């Protein structure tokens, strides 16, 4: 995906997921309909990609319990399941860290809290919710590099996996979602205001 593909999340290339995610102890329930189009979208069965530059320019929500994410799953997940399908988290942000985003790889032997990743923190105490930022990965055989606004902050290769299997050499589909609550961000509290939005302009 590149900046020349601005309509990726249109109805022709994405689908709206519904339901909840009890595995992560999240509190939202994704509903159908275009009014809720930023809840959770994926391109499974409509668009996959192997390697390349993948980016989105977004303004994340603000507040305790917010968990926006832009990520990718191996298109063979229906056959092999997780974590063998592989996962590339382009960007995750949790509300209690307003100035930090995380980029992470998951696969067999490095999934869940054992994912291989790093965080990027904005300078000067800025929050990601203050304005739009561009989150990207450059993905090639045996290498994934993460950046924010063009600044590279992490590169991972099979050498980082402690002998575990690299499963990132196949088609992946894209996911864009805003979760509320969960084991990592924790629940919203009295300081959290609603509604909150994950705004994507490309």
Distance, CA of 181 to CA of 105 (rounded, Å): 22
Residue 3 has pLDDT above 60, yes or no: no
Residue 28 confidence (pLDDT): 57
pLDDT at res. 39: 75
Q: Which residues are catalytic?
A: 87, 92
Amino acid 2: pLDDT? 41
What is the C-alpha to C-alpha distance for residues 82 and 102, in angstroms, rounded to an integer?
20
- The answer for 157, left when phi > 0, alpha when psi is -120 to 50, beta otherwise, is beta
pLDDT of residue 202: 78
Distances (CA, A) of 182 to 4, 62, 79, 162: 34, 16, 27, 28
User: What pLDDT digit, counting tens, does each position of 100-157 carry?
Assistant: 999 999 999 999 999 999 999 999 999 999 999 999 999 999 999 999 999 999 999 9
152-202: per-residue pLDDT in tens?
999 999 999 999 999 999 999 999 999 999 999 999 999 999 999 999 987
Distance of alpha carbon 151 from the chain centroid: 18
Domains and CATH numbers, the chain: 15-185+194-200 (2.60.120.200)
What value does the mean pLDDT take over residues 38-47?
89
Query: Is a pLDDT exceeding 80 seen at residue 35?
Result: no
The DSSP secondary-structure symbol of 164 reads P
Question: What pLDDT, on the 0 to 100 scale, is given for residue 46?
Answer: 94
Give me the helices (H) in the chain, please: 77-80
pLDDT, tens digit, for every residue of 8-31?
A: 555 556 665 655 555 665 555 666
């Amino acid at each position: 995906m590149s900046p020349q593909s601005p309509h990726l999340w249109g109805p022709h290339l994405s689908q709206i997921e519904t339901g909840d995610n009890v595995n992560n102890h999240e509190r939202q329930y994704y509903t159908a309909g275009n009014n809720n189009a930023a809840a959770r979208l994926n391109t499974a069965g409509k668009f996959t990609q192997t390697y390349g530059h993948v980016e989105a320019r977004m303004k994340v929500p603000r507040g305790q319990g917010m968990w926006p994410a832009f990520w990718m799953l191996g298109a063979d997940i229906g056959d092999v399941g997780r974590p063998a399908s592989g996962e590339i988290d382009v960007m995750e942000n949790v509300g209690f860290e307003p100035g930090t985003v995380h980029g992470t790889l998951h696969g067999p032997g490095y999934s869940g809290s054992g994912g291989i990743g790093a965080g990027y923190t904005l300078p000067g105490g800025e929050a990601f919710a203050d304005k739009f930022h561009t989150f990207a990965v450059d993905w090639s055989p045996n290498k994934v590099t993460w950046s924010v606004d063009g600044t590279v902050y992490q590169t991972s290769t099979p050498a980082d996996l402690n002998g575990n299997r690299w499963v990132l050499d196949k088609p992946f589909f894209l996911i864009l979602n805003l979760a509320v609550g969960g084991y990592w961000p924790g629940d919203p509290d009295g300081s959290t205001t609603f509604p909150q939005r994950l705004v994507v302009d490309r």
